[in-house]
Structure 1
Amino acid sequence: MTKVYTLYGTDCCHLCELAEQVCISAGIMACVEKIDIANDEQLVDLYGVKIPVLKNNSTQQELNWPFDAQMISQIKPKL
């Protein structure tokens, strides 16, 4: 199943853990694929100083931390 969102982050990142909790609170965690950027040099170059980053995979819109449930609702796909 294709996930609607991608959450870029890394292990042992307290901000990434907070971002995951925001996704849970917003009710979208089941639609989120978590990607650890640590083992991908291109992702480290792209997101290394921005993580956590939540990306809407269909629109390519990204939210850099800090974000909240209201901000997530602004990038939700239209049904």
Structure 2
Amino acid sequence: MPKDLILYTTLGCTLCEKAKAEIWPLLEQFQLRLREVDIADDSQLLDRFETRIPLVGLGDPGDVCGWPFDRQQLREWLLRRLPEL
């Protein structure tokens, strides 16, 4: 079963659309499924990430890859966290 790659986002985030273009090509390689989380729905995430989105993570909000990133930077970040692939 694929693990979730979480995109921390919010409504109207234009940078988030750019981030998705970097994310999509890596999902299959790392056997990941993209799950978008709207930070506006969680006050703790909103406090933490309000001025930092888009960010991606694997479930730990303390360990995220923040924008700006390109496909290679995200790939390296994922390789450090998913070494079995």
Q: TM-score, normalised by structure 1?
A: 0.80
Q: Who is 1:53 aligned against? A: 55
Q: Who is 1:28 aligned against? A: 27
Residue of structure 1 aligned with 2:73, choices 51, 61, 71: 71
Percent sequence identity over aligned pairs: 31
Q: TM-score, normalised by structure 2?
A: 0.75
Q: Structure 1 57/41 Cα, relative in aligned 2: closer, same or farther at 3 Å? A: closer
CA distance in 1, matches of 2:36, 2:3: 10
Which sections of structure 2, spanning at least 5 residues, go unmatched? none
Structure 1 stretches of 4+ moved >4 Å: none
* Count of aligned positions: 77
Which sections of structure 1, spanning at least 5 residues, go unmatched? none
Cα RMSD between the aligned structures? Answer: 2.1
CA distance in 2, matches of 1:53, 1:75: 12
